[in-house]
Amino acid sequence: MLQKIITSLRHSYYEIFKVLSFASAVFFVMYFMPRVGKFQYEFMQGKPWQHANLYASFDFAIYKPESQIKEEKDRVAAQIYPYFVFQKEETEKVRDMLQTSVEEKITDYQVYKEKTKKLTLSIYDFVQSRGIIQHHSILDNANPDKRVNVVKNKVSSVYALSDLFTITSAYDYASRVVDTANQVDRKLILSILGESFVQNLVYDEKLSKQEKDQAFERISPTYGMVQQGELIIAEGELVEGERFLVLNSLRLETEKRIGSESHNFAIFIGQLILVLSIFFVLYLFIRFLRNDVFNELKKINLILLLMLLTIIPSFLTLSKSPDLVYLLPFGILPIILITFFDSRTTILVHLLSIFLVSIVVPNAFQFVFLQLIVGYVVVFSLVNHGKRFYFFRTSFFIFITYLIVFSGFSLFQLSEIKLIDSSMAWKFAISAALTLLALPLIYFFERLFGQITELSLLELSNTNSPLLRELASKAPGTFQHSIQVANLTEEALYEIGGNVLLARTGALYHDIGKMDDPYYFIENQMGGYNPHNDITPGESAAIIIDHVINGIEKARKARIPELIIDFIRTHHGTSRVNYFYVMEQRMNPGLSVDERDFCYRGPVPFSKETAVVMMADSVEAASRSLKNPTEQKINDLIENIVNKQIETHQFINSNITFKEVMQVKKILKKKLLNIYHVRIAYPE
Pick the more confident residue, 158 or 678.
158
- pLDDT of 387 > 50? The answer is yes
Least confident window among 127-131, 178-182, 560-564:
178-182
Least confident window among 10-19, 114-123, 128-137:
10-19
- Model pLDDT, residue 436: 92
By the 8 A CB rule, do 467 and 509 touch?
Answer: yes
- Model pLDDT, residue 522: 87
Q: Who contacts 402 (Cβ-Cβ below 8 Å, separation ≥6)? A: 326, 370, 374, 424, 428, 431, 432
Cα 379 to Cα 341: distance, rounded to the nearest angstrom: 11
Confidence of residue 4 (pLDDT cuts 50, 70, 90): low
- pLDDT of 263 > 90? The answer is no
Least confident window among 6-10, 645-649, 660-664:
6-10
pLDDT tens readout for residues 269-299: 888 999 999 999 999 999 999 888 888 899 9
By the 8 A CB rule, do 234 and 49 touch?
Answer: yes
Q: Could you give phi then psi for residue 114, rounded to 5 degrees?
A: -65, -40
pLDDT tens readout for residues 357-376: 998 887 888 899 999 999 99
Q: Who contacts 406 (Cβ-Cβ below 8 Å, separation ≥6)? A: 370, 420, 424, 428
- Model pLDDT, residue 10: 60
- pLDDT of 304 > 90? The answer is yes
CATH class, domain 454-675, is mainly alpha
> Mean pLDDT, to the nearest integer, of 452-479?
90
- pLDDT of 649 > 70? The answer is yes
- pLDDT of 684 > 50? The answer is no
- Model pLDDT, residue 110: 55
- Model pLDDT, residue 111: 58
pLDDT tens readout for residues 405-426: 988 887 776 666 666 777 888 9
Cα 359 to Cα 274: distance, rounded to the nearest angstrom: 8
pLDDT tens readout for residues 476-521: 999 999 999 999 999 999 999 888 999 999 999 999 999 988 999 9
- Model pLDDT, residue 682: 44
Q: Who contacts 102 (Cβ-Cβ below 8 Å, separation ≥6)? A: 116, 117, 120, 121, 192
- Model pLDDT, residue 664: 94
Alpha-carbon dihedral angle through residues 212, 214, 216, 218, given to the nearest 10 degrees: -150
pLDDT tens readout for residues 31-48: 999 877 666 677 777 777
pLDDT tens readout for residues 589-635: 878 888 888 999 989 999 999 999 999 999 999 888 888 888 889 99
Its pTM surpasses 0.85? no
Tell how strand 60-63 and strand 201-203 pair up.
Answer: unpaired
pLDDT tens readout for residues 441-452: 988 998 888 788
Q: What angle do CA 421, 427, 430 make, to 5 degrees?
A: 155
By the 8 A CB rule, do 57 and 232 touch?
Answer: no
> Mean pLDDT, to the nearest integer, of 337-341?
90
- Model pLDDT, residue 38: 66
> Mean pLDDT, to the nearest integer, of 364-389?
85
Mean pLDDT value across the chain:
86
Pick the more confident residue, 483 or 247.
483
3-state helix/strand/coil string of 172-209:
HHHHHHHHCCCCCCHHHHHHHHHHHCCCCEEECHHHHH
pLDDT tens readout for residues 204-234: 989 988 988 888 888 888 888 888 888 888 8
- pLDDT of 574 > 80? The answer is yes
- pLDDT of 265 > 90? The answer is no
- Model pLDDT, residue 347: 94
In 476-536, alpha helices (H): 476-496, 500-509
Domain assignments of the chain as residue spans, ordered by start: 2-36+263-449, 76-215, 454-675
- Model pLDDT, residue 42: 72
pLDDT tens readout for residues 77-111: 888 889 999 998 888 888 888 888 777 776 655 55
**What percent of the chain lies above the pLDDT cut of 90?**
40
